[in-house]
Structure 1
Amino acid sequence: MIAGIRSMVQLASAPAWKGYIIAHPGYTDEHVMEYVRENTVTIWKPVGTCAMAAADASKGEGVVDNRLRVKGAQGLRVGDASVFPRMPAGHPTAPVYMIAERASDLIREDWLTGYRGLEAVRVFCDTTLRQRWTRSYGVHALSLLGELMSQELGS
């Protein structure tokens, strides 16, 4: 971190920036680390907290399998950005939609093939991921599940 900030200070000190950037007082490494501690924040779109393991991964890797089921738990799936192994290159909205749609397809498939266990999409919302769009995708998948179950039970 210190080396990166020092590089940025050196870049900002170039003659091309004269008049645009106010000179800094020449911080010590301790000042830089204090700045980093006080000003480092998440990117507000954390991913990978329940990452999916690769198909050939060992049993200890990953939290969910390729059907978005939480390993070691019954009737629990994760259907949001927390299953991504790493942050997508662009904004995560479209990939989150895809995961939620895939989760609803998997739940529907299991339901229609005879699986009658309680199945739900768990939307991971840690303290930094309380955005309404993430929760609404999970709610969408759950509403699809509810429709399927009521159709099946009603017939």
Structure 2
Amino acid sequence: MTTRTITVTVNGRTRSATVEARKTLADFLREDLGLTGTHLGCEHGVCGACTILVDGAAARSCLQLAVQADGHEITTVEGIAAEDGTLHPVQQALHESHAFQCGFCTPGFVMSICGMLAEGTRPCTRAEIREELSGNICRCSGYQTIIDGVEKVLADTADAGATGTER
């Protein structure tokens, strides 16, 4: 078994660990760091449940090896709410829209939306929002309330002049 020591910044905290060279970033986050908000669905990069931010951009953690994250900054769903428990604007908008039923896909959608906002993407129509979120699958919501939540966060962040990635 080949191992390598990596150092990553996860949710603002520098972490070092020795990992198997073949361990996925998703498994590293879940098993080694205990950040179980990153969900594993398909493990093929199709469902989006494992979406995180790597250096501010949305990425599928099931498709990346932990050793590839060495030296990078990672944000998981656990790292976006405020220390006092105040929800992130994306989380709040989705909550107010009653966007999800079972919640399994929620972290992936939240992080994909945060990534979209961090990149400066501002879809104007429901069809454009659907296109932006087409890499995430939800099996129980019907998507309409998720899109409602995205419209809300887009309006709220436009009013505040924010990107939606700040706390």
TM-score by length of structure 2 reads 0.27
Relative contact order higher in (CA < 8 Å, ≥ 6 apart): 2
Structure 1 or 2: more helix by fraction: 1
Structure 1 or 2: more strand by fraction: 2
Rg larger in structure:
1
